[in-house]
Chains A and B, each alone.
Chain A
Amino acid sequence: MTEQTQHTRKWPIILAAVFIAVGCAAWICQLTMGLLVGSGMSNTFAWGLMIAVFAFLVGFGAGSQFVASYIVLANRKDLMPYVKTAQAVALAGAIGAGVAILIDLGHPAHIMAMLTGPNPTSALTWDMIALTVFIVIAIINVIAIARNSKALKFWMVLGLISAFALQLVEGLLFALMEARVWWHSFIMPVDFIVVAVVCGLAIAVIVCALKKDEFKPEALHDLSFLLAVAIIVHLVLAVIELAIVCFGGSAADGGALAAIGSVWLFYVLELGLPLAAVFVLLLGKKDPAKSMLVGGVLTVVGMFFHRLMLLYPAFASPTLYVPLSNEPSPSWALPASTGLYNHTGNAFEIAQGYIPNFFEWASMLLPLGVALAVFLVVVWFVAKVGKPAAEASGAQDTIEVKETVEVHESADDPEVAEVKEALVEQERGEDR
């Protein structure tokens, strides 16, 4: 191993360690000083940056599971070298999202109440179960990939189902909130699934563009095309979502629109960046790998703004409007207690803006750092467990694997054998 390679492998570890250290310090500050000082939230804007980060990470987790399962189940041998990375991102994203939720809790010391007395009617309980199941299946998939398990396809099917269920529950977590017109539509769970696909493909496009030599140009083109299609579907859903609010006609719909107007730049970036990515991905023929890289990054940034925009139209607008007696209209919003009197001097406000403060931005590094650390551990684990068989006994083991594949191939399932063959070839490539 060259010195330069060693150096290249060290910096992600250092980055993860720094992120975790800074994030932990910020979280401890939030716990000791309280969220009054440690956040920009209020009673009217009760969910902040950490919920956006949660949705952002869980989207990449589920989305990467979609991609990994697709590659294995569709037997895309040309994309097989990406399976390990996709599975690592799936697990890392889900664990990072779990950390984000823990950080967001006001009283994490009571967390055992979630285990001792979960409320079955709460979408947050479903979410906890869906996320846990997803993580367990993702871990099994990592082991299955590392060991070239014969049951890989089976676990990939379960991974696909668990990713779908996770995103469905995430969407319902928001969509069931009748009080928030921005969330309360059938679009929300559907779009959560589509956005996960977008996120999973965006990471795939970026990684494959960076390792373009390992993939055939057709495979890269396919990924770009799939991402562009997924983005277009998401944008159509986003437009329908906006139309529902535009034509809703209620005072609450008007409030949500006004809230969008107050952060119009975020909304433009949410839609504009992925749209730009579509053009770059489809039209960037001159240097496809570069186009993929640019398109992928634009999409990832756009998805972050998309997750932020889950919050603003929902919280920066009132939920209840009351008319005067015997007057059918107009209705007026009710000022609510902000809970920020000690901080801002404002006891009541109709709506409250939200700017994440320093501690929120810093504590955001904890779930990101944990996700990065999990990713690195998974990559290391797969290399460690997957390689010894080939390294310890050299070519003989590789042949044995090949023979096993051949036996299996002749037995009943030729598709599984092809997948394994591709994995063996990938191992050889890595050994070289």
Chain B
Amino acid sequence: MRYAMAIDLDRCIGCRTCAVICKDHNAEPRGIWWNRVFSPGAPEYGTSVIVDGMPRMEFVPISCQHCENAPCQQVCPTGATYTDDTGTVLVDYEKCIGCRYCITACPYEVRQFNWSKPDGVEGVDGEYRWGYPEDYRQDGRLVYTPVRPEGVVEKCTFCVQYTNQGGIPACCTGCPANARIFGDIEDPESEISQYMSGRQWLVLGESFGTKPKVYYLPSTRGEGE
């Protein structure tokens, strides 16, 4: 089994729901975003650029690419970053020493460091907490906890707390345009395999040789112009 994600850039409308729902379900502390969306070439988010005299706008959502050849895993001195049986790259919060070597090694800049104790957000009845409410362990490793330890690194887990129980990542659930398709890339009958079948795809930062498992189906904008 190899979990992967396809992102159809023709379907992405740049609403950033994926970023927000990800933050919500994974209890990401303030200032930490596992998912982000940007508009290539635009000076500000959501503005168009002129290409060959015509306005163009497209969006590129980026989160952990769950690389087959993950540089973050290779450099982690304690093995806190590891790849599980599904090909998902995870961080064991109890083994991370906070050296930030993985942040340095990741060409996608998707790794986030807890620079301080996470702030709770005050709700009407006192402290407000959000996200999956319990710790989630995989083979004894703490790969999700709603209250992050200070000084450790975190990143997208493909929502391991859901996918290990047969669910799909929150960003796929929440995407209003169904631009994200998740599943087992080794299963030819899976939704992702079917969706990608016969279509062109690309990966980000191919020159780094990281072999990402997040595939981008390029936009057809600009084709034949």
Contact = CB atoms under 8 A, between A and B. Distances in A.
Interface string B97-122: 11111011111111111111101000
Given A106-B113, A337-B112, A324 B97 contact: no
Q: How large is the interface on B (under 10, 10 to 19, 20 to 34, 35 or more residues)?
A: 35 or more
A107 B105 contact: no
Interface in B54-95: 56, 58, 60, 62, 71, 74-80, 94-95
B219 A325 contact: yes
Interface stretch (B26-34, B128-136, B178-186): B26-34
Question: Chain A CB within 10 Å — which of B78, B95, B153 has the most?
Answer: B78
B12 to A, nearest CB: 11
B108 A124 contact: no
Given A320-B109, A325-B220, A337-B31, A128 B99 contact: no
B162 interface: no
A106 B106 contact: no
B170 interface: no
Nearest to A346: B31
B78 A117 contact: yes
Nearest to A334: B38
Interface stretch (A29-37, A81-89, A186-194): A29-37
A335 B59 CA distance: 13
Interface residues of A, number: 61
Interface string A37-53: 10101111011000000
Contacts of A111: 97
Contacts of B104: 46-47, 177, 179-180, 314
B109 A334 contact: yes
Given A332-B40, A342-B31, A327 B51 contact: yes
A320 B108 contact: yes
A385 interface: no
Question: Chain A CB within 10 Å — which of B36, B77, B96, B225 has the most?
Answer: B77
A107 B91 CA distance: 14
Contacts, number: 194
B149 interface: yes
Given A318-B109, A334-B60, A334-B109, A114 B31 contact: no
Interface in A336-370: 336-343, 347-348
Contacts of B139: none
A118 interface: yes
B38 A35 contact: no
A146 B83 CA distance: 50
B170 to A, nearest CB: 17
A33 B150 CA distance: 10
Interface in B193-225: 204-205, 208-209, 218-223, 225
B222 A325 contact: yes
B208 A178 contact: yes
B18 interface: no
A339 B155 CA distance: 12
B105 to A, nearest CB: 6
Interface string A172-212: 00001111100000000000000000000000000000000
A294 B33 CA distance: 50
Nearest to A110: B97
Given A43-B112, A117-B95, A337 B77 contact: no
A337 B19 CA distance: 11
B206 to A, nearest CB: 11
Contact of A44 (B95, B109, B117): B109
B22 to A, nearest CB: 12
B31 A338 contact: yes
Contacts of B222: 324-327
Please report whether the interface of chain A is mostly helix, strand, loop or mixed according to DSSP: loop
A179 B71 contact: yes
Contacts of B38: 334-335, 348
A74 interface: no
A232 to B, nearest CB: 31
B208 A179 contact: yes
Nearest to A125: B77
B13 interface: no
Interface in A1-51: 33-37, 39, 41-44, 46-47
A330 B50 CA distance: 12
B45 to A, nearest CB: 8
Interface in B1-54: 9, 30-33, 36, 38, 40-41, 49, 51
Nearest to A335: B38
Nearest to A115: B78
Contact of A119 (B32, B58, B60, B76): B76
B186 to A, nearest CB: 25
Interface of A: 33-37, 39, 41-44, 46-47, 101, 104-108, 110-111, 113-114, 117-119, 121-125, 128, 176-180, 314, 318-320, 322-327, 330-332, 334-343, 347-348
Given A34-B117, A343-B31, 18 more contacts: A47-B100, A106-B114, A106-B151, A106-B153, A117-B95, A119-B78, A124-B77, A177-B71, A178-B105, A179-B107, A320-B108, A325-B220, A326-B220, A332-B40, A334-B109, A335-B36, A337-B32, A339-B114
